[in-house]
Amino acid sequence: MKGRSGKAQPTWSAALGPYKLRPMADTIFSKILRGDIPCHKVYEDDLVFAFLDIGPLSFGHTLVIPKEEVATLDQLSDETAAAMGRVLPRLCRAIKAVTGAEQFNVLQNNGPMAHQAVFHVHFHIIPKPSVDRGLVMEWSSTKLDPDEGARLATALNKEMGG
Ligand code: AMP
């Protein structure tokens, strides 16, 4: 794939390397789901489990995981994805109500370069009570070239079956 500069850009598969081929390991989150190690449980249904992050970025930092054991979001079944989507806003409302934080980030990392440390899909709900607490991030945006944007959107739409 070529970027705006015309230079070859690293692709996902090239960047992930052996990670992409690595089978799903028995992660710490699988152990939590089995009850082998403790957690502070916040929510559970047939498909979804939520618990407090052990290293919170702010008070109320919660992890929401599927019971389905897959490493990244793109691997998730539609049924579990729908269940996660249904419960996420409810959990956000509960966290807002209990912590009093009006603002929050929902973060979902996929792959080591993207800061994923535990290879079992998870959403972070991170209250943002102040400028220096919660998620602090650098947002190094670029400018979308209109022609490249048109080509990219068409390719993505085609890939989505549109
Ligand atoms: P990520 O970098 O998106 O993979 O985030 C992994 C998160 O899991 C980190 O925020 C950790 O603090 C959290 N974590 C790791 N082990 C545990 C655990 N045993 N209980 C709760 N949270 C955990």
The values of phi and psi at residue 106, to 5°, are -115, 120
Is the beta carbon of 114 within 6 A of some atom in ligand 1? no
Q: Does domain 12-159 have CATH number 3.30.428.10?
A: yes
Taking the centre of ligand 1 as the mean of its atom positions, its distance from the CA of residue 94, in whole angstroms, is 20
Output DSSP code: residue 131: T
CA distance 2 to 71: 28
Rounded to the nearest angstrom, the gap between the alpha carbon of residue 98 and the centroid of all alpha carbons in its chain is 23
Find the 85 Cα to ligand 1 centroid distance in Å.
20
Q: Which of 61, 120, 122, 124 is catalytic?
A: 122
Per-residue pLDDT of the chain in tens (162 residues, 90 and over written 9):
344 444 444 444 444 444 454 456 689 999 999 999 999 999 999 999 999 999 999 999 999 999 999 999 999 999 999 999 999 999 999 999 999 999 999 999 999 999 999 999 999 999 999 999 999 999 999 999 999 999 999 999 999 999
Look up 124 and say whether it is catalytic. Answer: no
Amino acid residing at 157: N
- pLDDT for the residue 73: 98
Beta-strand pair 62-66/41-44 = unpaired
Is any ligand 1 atom within 6 A of the Cβ of residue 53? Answer: yes
* Domain ranges (residues) in the chain: 12-159
